Structure 1
Amino acid sequence: MVFTSLNFLLFFPAVILLFYITPIKYRWATLLIASYFFYLNIEPVFGLLTAIITLSTYFFTRLIDKVNDDKTKSKYMYLNIAIVLLPLFFFKYFTAINDGIFNILDLYEIRWVLPKITFLLPVGISFYTFMAIGYTIDVYNEEVEAEKNIGIVALFISFFPLILSGPIERAKNMIPQFKSDLKLNPANFSIGLKLMLWGYFMKLVVADRLAIYVDAVYGNLAHHNGDTILFTSLLYPIQVYADLGGYSLIAIGVSKILGLDVMHNFNRPFFATSMAEFWRRWHMSLITWLTDYVYTPLAFSFRRYGVSGIVLALMVTFVLSGVWHGATLNFVVWGVLQGVFLSIEALMNKRKTKMENRYSLKSNFLYVAFSIGLTYFLFSISQVFGRAVTFEDSIIVFEKVILERGSLFLDKTTLAYASIGIFMLLLSDFRDEYFPKKMLLFNNKHFVIRLGSYLCVALLILWIGILNGGQFIYFKF
């Protein structure tokens, strides 16, 4: 069951009805039952895995909370982190390790060929694993108390809007809300439905339309020239943004209707003027998680090395981010590139800031536009490794872009419809970035304008949206 399926459009109204007829004291239990029902409908065994991670996290956080000895607390924390990570490592990296060993054995002709065993990656495992680890570390650091109600912990880890692709939430934000009086608020319905509507627009009109073109090119690299591949590679970041950003808005909207505030995941990333700023705007729940639990401890440990320590912490953090996305050489390279871009900026930051202040460049339109374009281009380069199926395909992409010219492959209908969606998406982000109180549509004070805006977006979804589109890109992570 996914947000874009008919099943979800039947499931969610039923959840709302059951949620609001349940006594306030037990509404968390209704959400827990709904969350497990939602996840079990994807693959029943996945629910068992989530339950095991929940039991381990609940048990060890309670132990951490009870003991006073720092060494014992540390031992419990690391033991739970190891237990929680074990399923992720097994399901996500088993195939990569297995294939690597087989390739070595094949190279020396010492393998006895047997039927290959593969395992299905549990959907959303990377997201709820990080949430469980974050909660464990927060309890250890005494930032939150260990929750005594195992049902609340289970709900935090399995909450259905977040379990498949985040945002990666924190216990200190969600658990108090789950335990609060979740009362019916008409304003929440209005806000939540608007977020959901725009999320569906991003996913069905922009992401899934672009996916048709991007998949056609990247699925047949040998048959396309460098100009077409370059054009496609520049479109792909928009597809990812609309896909994950759309999912996030739907998840945030669903949560809001249920009276729960979930952190936002994107903040107009394509208007960032540097890679550092870009990563403060892109997939914010992941980057803040990595900053808090990986980068900051590493930077503190490496502080004696000065700027070199910062660079090392950045490289380790983003290589880990790459490995989190996938157990392939492509994602390792992707992580290395992000680390290199950010490290170069860190090393040049003082000089850059001095130059910008001296010549008032931050208020110079051409300089800002150039910085935005360069940031987008650098991210697009790295995303080649995120989109290409294999490392060899990535090399083919760069070889063709550099060496092979030709006319663009144009799927005119697909690109025309996608262009409408891209224009509206970027125009909305531009308005929010530079003129947040002007040209309001969804939040206009006049009811007729608001209603017209809702109807226009809904009709565009029905007219040019891909209503039978594929799953969200980040489900595979």
Structure 2
Amino acid sequence: MYINIAVVLMPLFFFKYFTAINDGIFNILEMYEMRWFLPKIHFLLPVGISFYTFMAIGYTIDVYNEEVEAEKNIGIVALFISFFPLILSGPIERAGNMIPQFKSDLKLNHTNFSTGLKLMLWGYFMKLVVADRIAIYVDAVYGNLSHHNGDTILLTSLLYPIQVYADLGGYSLIAIGVSKILGLNVMPNFNRPFFATSMAEFWRRWHMSLITWLTDYVYTPLAFSFRQYRIFGIVLALMVTFALSGIWHGATLNYVVWGLMQGTFLSIEALINKRKSKIENQYGLKSNFFYLIFSVCLTYVLFAVSLVFAYDASFKDALMVFDKIIFKRGSLFLDKTTLAYAFIGVFMLFLSEFRDEYFPKTLLFFNNKVFVIRLVSYLCVALLILWIGVLNGGQFIYFKF
């Protein structure tokens, strides 16, 4: 098993981390005025390498643990690892769910086709109307940090989590919808994460296929190994797990810091969880509207703070973000058209998710029993995509992983 995992990881390490290590060596040599006459080498990252590597490792461990039987048909294994809707940005599926479906008698039917198209339509709305419209503003500011003040950067930093969510969440819905049309049930990847009241709950709702993979194959074995340290063993397992998550996202200091920040937030929650629950039960805070709003906003802000390090910028730029937000305030830079269109998309997205979170059986549109209401709903979303969607073929954020 260990040999197989090592072989599976070798391409990922080579293509994803060779350039970073190579550049680091060159930079160290240049500091000491040493010349290395070999050219710097930069590789084009194979499409979806992070995702199919995780799926291959998961399959290996599941077979070893006898949770699934080893598949004898190499075509089925290849199909599982490289299934086209999932290979670019997930969800990161499990062999136990997908391989039996691949081997079953798959047939197209009207219900799956209809459900899949609904998921795809809403996925395209999230991506083209919400994510790509916000991206215009975010890229304009984060791409020119030295020219913007703290208030503008603060607004950008608060918008960026929504962009990432709509981008990856939109792609996930498209991938799940395509799979559904083919008769395959793929695991959900998001569950309204911005309504979470703690970071632990947030990570049970955000990129669920990744967090469950990390929980099953990294965190749980580590927590079991560190069980003699009790709560501090859990903290250590959390820190290692999210540090690895950061390294998986990218071979830069920024991503390591992002992972360690998430591990720290979760560790603090684990340490104070009993006392927090006692206070919540004593004062009935779990049903207090204002306390829930405060908890949701705090969770969002903590995630937004960590995402400053996840944008494609240097560590120095990330520190500049915080410096300007705290010390260099000023008037907002407003791209009125872009922000107005983005507001329409964000409002519709959060209105839909608010309904799904608190009133799931009311104000149904896509799933309304009345055909006319359903048809008008589809047309309205499609027209909004054509009207205010960004249709220039912008790349999904997670394609680079």
TM-score by length of 2: 0.99
1:97 pairs with 2:97: no
- Return 309-318 or 106-115, whichever deviates more: 106-115
Q: How does 1:47-66 map to 2 (within 5 A)?
A: none
Partner of 1:369: 293
Q: How does 1:289-304 map to 2 (within 5 A)?
A: 289-304=213-228
- 1:388 Cα deviation after fit: 4.5
Partner of 1:379: 303
- 1:103 Cα deviation after fit: 1.2
Residue 238 of structure 2: which of 314, 320, 331 is its match? Answer: 314
Say if 2:23 and 2:40, in contact at 8 Å, map to a contact too. no
Residue 164 of structure 1: which of 64, 79, 88 is its match? Answer: 88
Partner of 2:229: 305
Distance of 2:333 and 2:11 partners within structure 1 = 43
How many residue pairs are counted as aligned between the two chains? 401
SS in 1 for 2:90: coil
Say if 1:196 and 1:250, in contact at 8 Å, map to a contact too. yes
Residue 176 of structure 1: which of 83, 94, 100 is its match? Answer: 100
Distance of 2:130 and 2:398 partners within structure 1 = 16
Partner of 2:123: 199
Distance of 2:392 and 2:184 partners within structure 1 = 29
1:138 pairs with 2:62: yes
Partner of 1:248: 172
How big is each residue's C-alpha offset from its partner over 1:112-138, in whole Å with a ceiling of 9 and x where there is no partner? Answer: 354321101112100000000000000
Say if 1:165 and 1:247, in contact at 8 Å, map to a contact too. yes
- Structure 1: which 5+ residue stretches go unaligned? 1-76
Q: How does 1:202-351 map to 2 (within 5 A)?
A: 202-351=126-275
How big is each residue's C-alpha offset from its partner over 1:170-227, in whole Å with a ceiling of 9 and x where there is no partner? Answer: 0000000000010221100110000000000000000000100000000000000011
Partner of 1:22: none
Distance of 1:413 and 1:444 partners within structure 2 = 33
How big is each residue's C-alpha offset from its partner over 1:98-156, in whole Å with a ceiling of 9 and x where there is no partner? Answer: 11111111111112354321101112100000000000000000000000111100100
- 1:280 Cα deviation after fit: 0.2
Distance of 2:88 and 2:205 partners within structure 1 = 21
1:455 pairs with 2:383: no
Distance of 1:396 and 1:113 partners within structure 2 = 35
Say if 2:204 and 2:211, in contact at 8 Å, map to a contact too. yes
Distance of 1:259 and 1:81 partners within structure 2 = 31
Distance of 2:356 and 2:215 partners within structure 1 = 26
Higher relative contact order (CA 8 A, sep 6+): 2
Say if 1:299 and 1:309, in contact at 8 Å, map to a contact too. yes
Q: Residue 139 of structure 1 aligns to which amino acid in structure 2?
A: V
Say if 2:17 and 2:251, in contact at 8 Å, map to a contact too. yes
Q: Residue 321 of structure 1 aligns to which amino acid in structure 2?
A: S
- Return 334-343 or 116-125, whichever deviates more: 116-125
Say if 1:169 and 1:263, in contact at 8 Å, map to a contact too. yes
Distance of 1:234 and 1:123 partners within structure 2 = 30
SS in 2 for 1:139: helix
Say if 1:196 and 1:254, in contact at 8 Å, map to a contact too. yes
SS in 2 for 1:314: helix
Partner of 1:392: 316
- Structure 2: which 5+ residue stretches go unaligned? none
Residue 185 of structure 1: which of 109, 122, 133 is its match? Answer: 109
SS in 1 for 2:45: coil
1:117 pairs with 2:41: yes
Distance of 1:147 and 1:169 partners within structure 2 = 16
Q: Residue 346 of structure 2 aligns to which amino acid in structure 1?
A: I
How big is each residue's C-alpha offset from its partner over 1:209-246, in whole Å with a ceiling of 9 and x where there is no partner? Answer: 01000000000000000110010000000000000000
SS in 1 for 2:310: helix
Distance of 1:184 and 1:217 partners within structure 2 = 46
Identity, % of aligned positions: 84
Distance of 1:387 and 1:469 partners within structure 2 = 20
Say if 1:167 and 1:285, in contact at 8 Å, map to a contact too. yes
Distance of 1:231 and 1:469 partners within structure 2 = 25
Say if 2:117 and 2:177, in contact at 8 Å, map to a contact too. yes
Distance of 1:116 and 1:148 partners within structure 2 = 42
Say if 1:388 and 1:394, in contact at 8 Å, map to a contact too. no
Distance of 1:469 and 1:397 partners within structure 2 = 29
- What is the alpha-carbon root mean square deviation over aligned residues? 0.7
Say if 1:208 and 1:469, in contact at 8 Å, map to a contact too. no
Detail structure 1 runs of 4+ shifted over 4 Å in the superposition. none
Q: Residue 189 of structure 1 aligns to which amino acid in structure 2?
A: F
Partner of 1:405: 329
Distance of 1:256 and 1:388 partners within structure 2 = 33
